[in-house]
Structure 1
Amino acid sequence: MSFKVEAVPSPKSILGEGPHWDEQLQSLFYNDIYGTEASILRYDFKENKTYSAKIDGEKIVGFIIPVANTTKTCELDEYAVGICRRVGIVHWDGKSPKALLGPIAFEVEDDKPENRFNDAKADPVGRFYGGTMRQESKGDLFDVAAGTFYKYIKGDGVYELLHGIYVSNGMAWNESTNKFYYIDSCKFNVREYDWDPSTGDISNERIAIDFKVNGKNPPFIPDGMTIDTDGNLYVATYGGSKVLKVDPKKGKIVLEIPIPARQVTSVCFGGPNLDILYVTSASAPANAAAIGLHPDDKQSELDGRLFKVTGLGVKGFPGVRVRV
């Protein structure tokens, strides 16, 4: 197999995350969780250009997902964003350097002020799924499993699906088998669940792949994740400079995709034919240790950039707009 990895014109993110390909806009949305210059970003495929914006007054943005349901005449400027323990609606034209925070859809964990939302996605029918974690600046991520994984249904409410989560991260759905895949980064595995498309509930947990070798942790942390149309998973490796293609049925790594950045954070398929794998990454700023990043003694110019991988010979699925 001959594939090509290239950096996409994009700013250097501190903690780039959460890529979401919007088929209608032919754009890739992602976020910089601790971005000082930008919180949310949009890569325009046709222009081959990335636009970014800051949400005034907000220092931590865990995710961005285009909104499906809206009462406005133009639905293209509403996005659900994770703001610490809240999910808010942001209005953005996709180009301006500032975005306006509107109403708050819901909030969780009033009793855990040190927590924040991390990755979130919409399932194939538009329900919100997302989880929390203790903020990196509050201590070692491996010390406390303070997070919870949630499902939110508009007009119905918030449901707790999983408890005792360290770092809620990658998610993927296989509609053909009604399976859901999930990563709690500090457990070094990918877990598989039966997924009920009518209710969104998950059950019957099993480990699809364990990245530990002889009981020892690997030299990376599994982070974001996506799935191709053949049912293979693609797992970003934080600290591992690669994306791993995984066959969840066999529990095996079938391909390693080297990425010229150390902290590889998340992945999704996109492009007009949904055959481009987009990859986000992180860089280490001066306060790297405080937010859980590696020291910058091994930084490269490409750390924190957005990448694309072409020539993989597979296709994925577009992102689903969320109903909030």
Structure 2
Amino acid sequence: MSYKVEKLPTAPAHIGEGPHWDIETQSLYFIDAYRGMIRRYSYDEKREYAAKVGKENVVSFIIPVDGARNKFAVGVGRRVAIVAWDGKSPTAEVERIAFEVETDNKYQLNRFNDAKADPKGRLFAGTMREIDGDLFGYRLGALYSVGEGLTVTKLRSNIGLSNGMTWNEAKEKMYYIDSTDLNVREFRYNFEEGKILDDGCITIDFSEDGKRPNFVPDGMTIDSDGFLYVAGFGASKVFKVNPDNGKVELSIELPCEQITSCAFGGPNLDILYVTSGYMGRDGKDKPAPAGATFQVTGLQAKGLPMAKVKL
């Protein structure tokens, strides 16, 4: 397959993450985690806007709030904040804290990581321990869902690094990544009630003969045919995976190592946007174009509309 990778005119991100394509504004929203910034790439203007979120040093995700213009759910520490941003100003205001998890002292080094709204607008968000050297050293994270009345439900515990998630309504499936498990797990999912119905099974295992590869699976999305697209942090790739047989159908090559996540967007939902970071786990910055945001065209695939969150 012939595809084309292009660097977008965006500033390099320490850790760019959590891409969300908003059909209404034809914009790609994402975050610059360790700068405490939310960012927007405008498809029509072919330019980027960025804002500092209050006094926050770290943010983890941004998802537009359904029915509320210029309002976003943003992960800040172990809290989810409702943030007001016009999409252009250099600062964004935290209006209120919607909820907080893991208030016990043993979780003080935890924070939210990836989050998404399921196709019905329910927020799913997971936590991780703020990495202090060993990504695989702790399993203090969890995966949560948020229902009506801000009812927070813990879905899974003993998580190392909660990461990518996506859904397939046609097959009544949810897919989920704990990066430290080095796999994608598939669950039966009730879309009407927003419930995981089983303990799941492994869709694809990225370990090599039982050993860690030189990357971890990170963020993830799905196309309209049900193929998964998994970002390989450290692999310089996004893997297109067939969840029916666990095979990698295509390795999309990117010009930097630390690929963090991906999302389909554009007017026809046929552009795969890919985020990356330049801040290495060893504390040393990676060379350009690390930290860039890319677009991949020519994949002959289309994504699904991403849901706004109902909070």
Q: TM-score surpassing 0.5?
A: yes
Counterpart for residue 321 of structure 1:
308
- The runs of 5 or more residues in structure 1 that have no matched partner are 70-74
How far 1:300 moved relative to its partner?
Answer: 2.6
CA distance in 1: counterparts of 2:179 and 2:90, whole angstroms: 32
Change in Cα spacing, 1:197 to 1:293, as seen in structure 2 (3 Å) is farther
Name the SS for the 1:155 alignment partner: helix
Change in Cα spacing, 1:156 to 1:47, as seen in structure 2 (3 Å) is closer
Counterpart for residue 2 of structure 1:
2
CA distance in 2: counterparts of 1:237 and 1:294, whole angstroms: 19
Counterpart for residue 227 of structure 1:
222
CA distance in 2: counterparts of 1:301 and 1:61, whole angstroms: 23
Q: Map Cα deviations across residues 259-317 of structure 1 (whole Å, 9 max, x no partner).
A: 11110000000000000000000002xxx4xxx35633xx3311001000000000001
- Corresponding position: 1:169 with 2:169: no
Name the SS for the 1:246 alignment partner: strand
- Corresponding position: 1:250 with 2:245: yes
How far 1:94 moved relative to its partner?
Answer: 0.1
Contact 1:62 1:82 in 2 (8 A): yes
- Corresponding position: 1:89 with 2:82: yes
Contact 1:90 1:102 in 2 (8 A): yes
CA distance in 1: counterparts of 2:233 and 2:118, whole angstroms: 24
Counterpart for residue 284 of structure 2:
295
Counterpart for residue 218 of structure 1:
213
Contact 1:126 1:321 in 2 (8 A): yes
CA distance in 2: counterparts of 1:104 and 1:184, whole angstroms: 26
CA distance in 2: counterparts of 1:76 and 1:274, whole angstroms: 22
CA distance in 1: counterparts of 2:55 and 2:283, whole angstroms: 27
Counterpart for residue 145 of structure 2:
151
CA distance in 2: counterparts of 1:293 and 1:313, whole angstroms: 37
Paired AA for residue 141 in structure 1: L
CA distance in 2: counterparts of 1:133 and 1:307, whole angstroms: 26
Change in Cα spacing, 1:124 to 1:259, as seen in structure 2 (3 Å) is same
Paired AA for residue 238 in structure 1: F
- The runs of 5 or more residues in structure 2 that have no matched partner are none
Contact 2:99 2:150 in 1 (8 A): no
Q: How does 1:103-182 map to 2 (within 5 A)?
A: 103-111=96-104, 112-137=107-132, 139-182=133-176
Contact 2:72 2:83 in 1 (8 A): yes
- Corresponding position: 1:241 with 2:230: no
How far 1:213 moved relative to its partner?
Answer: 1.8
CA distance in 2: counterparts of 1:295 and 1:176, whole angstroms: 44
How high is the sequence identity, in percent, across the aligned residues? 52
Counterpart for residue 25 of structure 1:
25
CA distance in 2: counterparts of 1:136 and 1:310, whole angstroms: 34
Contact 1:283 1:293 in 2 (8 A): no
CA distance in 1: counterparts of 2:241 and 2:19, whole angstroms: 19
Paired AA for residue 89 in structure 2: S
Name the SS for the 1:186 alignment partner: helix
Root-mean-square deviation over aligned CA pairs: 1.1
Structure 1 consecutive aligned stretches of length 4 or more whose deviation exceeds 2 Å: 292-296
CA distance in 1: counterparts of 2:102 and 2:29, whole angstroms: 27
Contact 1:169 1:184 in 2 (8 A): yes
How far 1:86 moved relative to its partner?
Answer: 0.2
CA distance in 2: counterparts of 1:263 and 1:276, whole angstroms: 20
Contact 1:152 1:158 in 2 (8 A): yes
- Corresponding position: 1:207 with 2:202: yes
Please, which of 23, 47, 50 is the counterpart of residue 48 of structure 2? 50
CA distance in 1: counterparts of 2:9 and 2:79, whole angstroms: 31
